[in-house]
Structure 1
Amino acid sequence: MQLRKIVFALGILGMSFSLMVKPAEAAQNEAIIINKSNNQLAFYEKGTLVKVLPVATGKTKGLTPEGKFSLVNKVKNRPWYKKNIPGGDPRNPLGARWLGLKVPGDWGHTSGNVYGVHGTNNPSSIGTYASNGCIRMYNKDVIWLYDRADHNIPVYITSASSSFPALAQKYGVAKAKKVVAGYETFNVNLKYGSKGDAVKILQKKLSITADGSFGPQTLKAVKKFQKSKGLVADGIVGPKTRKALFGK
């Protein structure tokens, strides 16, 4: 009887502890986020944004599915069965690597053979809307990703206007938001007409109204900042300007 009481008490304690676990503590540490709005892919490892890479997505909005999926298979030099073109052949549109996604509802094929992140033999298409649903990458980039992404990691696909740090927080990726000198950072290029959380971060850093819209006031502030740092004052917030802003 005494043993039963001890086991029961331990069970209650375990349940209480699980209820006390914060969402951040249970957050994912590795993930891929693909944003169709700017055709970029972000890879998070150990809760940290490691790299942002350009991609190509579906010719129309509905071709590349949106949601949370899993990476379920990885193939080097996958053949293109539709045209019977072997892997590694320069004519093969799947490029050097294939990372298959489990997408429920793809006509019952959930083994990662229908939708995937893959290389390409048409590098000029990267950054555009060109595929029949898959996500294309430069071959060198997909090889880099293939070597780092583990099976069953979550793959999020969206067309939101939010920055990757904001999306990563939304999806529960640990340490998604980095703070430098009191401000979050961002890893996307911004220019006149850009909108979203990344623009707000930029505006806060420049001490101007943070409305999330890159308009005349933001353009003027960016050019002024670029001139002060000896940069080309083109008003485009690229890698050099971000480094000057955040020291990284």
Structure 2
Amino acid sequence: MQLRKIVLAMGILLLGFCFMVKPAEAAEKEAIIINKSNNQLAFYENGTLQKVFPVATGRKSSLTPEGKFTLVNKVKNRPWYKENIPGGDPRNPLGARWLGIKVPGDWGHTSGNVYGVHGTNNPSSIGTYASSGCIRMNNKDVIWLYERADKNIPVYITSSSSSFTALAQKYEVGSKSVVAGYETFNETLRYGSKGDSVKVLQKKLSITADGSFGPKTLRAVKKFQSSKGLVADGIVGPKTRNALFSK
């Protein structure tokens, strides 16, 4: 009888340990990665890249911290306390949602109330270096992220020429490059470019994906740029990439 009790106790202890480690394993598969070099934010869920968004970061590189941080709070329509502007007010620069990041250092930064990913009342700033340190998103994008990102997931901020696939592998948050049914790329493409990134571009433009940036791809890119109010130069740089992958 005593032996049976011991075995039962050990079984309960082992089961409890399994439940304890499960959240940590899940958290490693969900993450936000922000690349200041091209002002893009990627959201990973279940180890898979779900979506890439254009963002705005600090006016100076030093204003938006780099490293591994943690998402610690989420607020709908957060007030702008500095100017006493209520949440939801069109004048509020924090937009529709706030996702606070724990940044170790000076007092208060660990609360998630100093640095955050948030919406904006200045959408023209997205894609530029404009903030005092926070990461700005279009309101529709930050609402999408708010509804899916859980608290306590890692937030990686970097300045890198690497793709999100490479960064995710480095941070061990997933190795897949599928984004809601398509892939993504970070390099600039133009007439004469070749390779897998061109295939991704061609798939996104719904044309034959042969991996060669020729006349047909050039026409499709210019048509897309014109439809988005961009300069129709046929070069797929940061602004065109943002428009391609911000849906």
Q: Report the TM-score, using the length of structure 2 for normalisation.
A: 0.69
Contact 1:29 1:47 in 2 (8 A): yes
Corresponding residue for residue 30 of structure 2: 30
Contact 2:49 2:176 in 1 (8 A): yes
| Structure 1 residue 202: Cα displacement | 3.2
Corresponding residue for residue 62 of structure 1: 62
Structure 1 residues 200 and 73, CA gap change in structure 2 (3 angstroms): farther
Corresponding residue for residue 202 of structure 1: 197
Letter in 1 for 2:154: P
| Structure 1 residue 28: Cα displacement | 1.7
- Deviation string 1:175-213 (CA, Å, 9 cap, x unpaired) is 3346xxxxx953446335xxxxxx9753899xxxxxxxx
Structure 1 residues 52 and 26, CA gap change in structure 2 (3 angstroms): closer
Contact 1:166 1:177 in 2 (8 A): no
Letter in 2 for 1:202: S
The within-5 A match list for 1:29-178 is: 29-177=29-177
Corresponding residue for residue 206 of structure 2: none
Structure 2 residues without counterparts, runs of 5 or longer:
15-24, 201-210, 223-233
Moved over 4 A (4+): none
Q: What SS is found at the alignment partner of 1:169?
A: helix
Alignment pair present for 1:226 and 2:217: yes
Letter in 2 for 1:226: T
Q: What SS is found at the alignment partner of 2:145?
A: helix
Counterpart Cα distance in 1 of 2:195 and 2:159: 18
Corresponding residue for residue 225 of structure 2: none
Letter in 2 for 1:120: T
Structure 1 residues 126 and 26, CA gap change in structure 2 (3 angstroms): closer
Q: What SS is found at the alignment partner of 2:144?
A: helix
Greater percentage in helix: 2
Contact 2:162 2:186 in 1 (8 A): no
Counterpart Cα distance in 1 of 2:216 and 2:106: 49
Contact 1:34 1:158 in 2 (8 A): yes
RMSD, aligned CA:
3.4
| Structure 1 residue 174: Cα displacement | 2.3
| Structure 1 residue 107: Cα displacement | 3.4
Contact 1:36 1:57 in 2 (8 A): yes
Contact 1:117 1:134 in 2 (8 A): yes
Q: What SS is found at the alignment partner of 1:33?
A: strand
Q: 1:190 pairs with 178, 188, 191, which one?
A: 188
| Structure 1 residue 236: Cα displacement | 2.8
Contact 2:71 2:151 in 1 (8 A): yes
Counterpart Cα distance in 2 of 1:165 and 1:69: 19
Contact 2:97 2:143 in 1 (8 A): yes
Counterpart Cα distance in 1 of 2:59 and 2:48: 31
Counterpart Cα distance in 2 of 1:54 and 1:204: 21
Q: Report sequence identity in percent.
A: 69
Q: What SS is found at the alignment partner of 2:63?
A: coil
Counterpart Cα distance in 2 of 1:60 and 1:200: 34
Q: Report the TM-score, using the length of structure 1 for normalisation.
A: 0.68
Letter in 1 for 2:76: K
Structure 1 residues 74 and 141, CA gap change in structure 2 (3 angstroms): same
Structure 1 residues without counterparts, runs of 5 or longer:
15-24, 179-183, 193-198, 206-219, 244-248
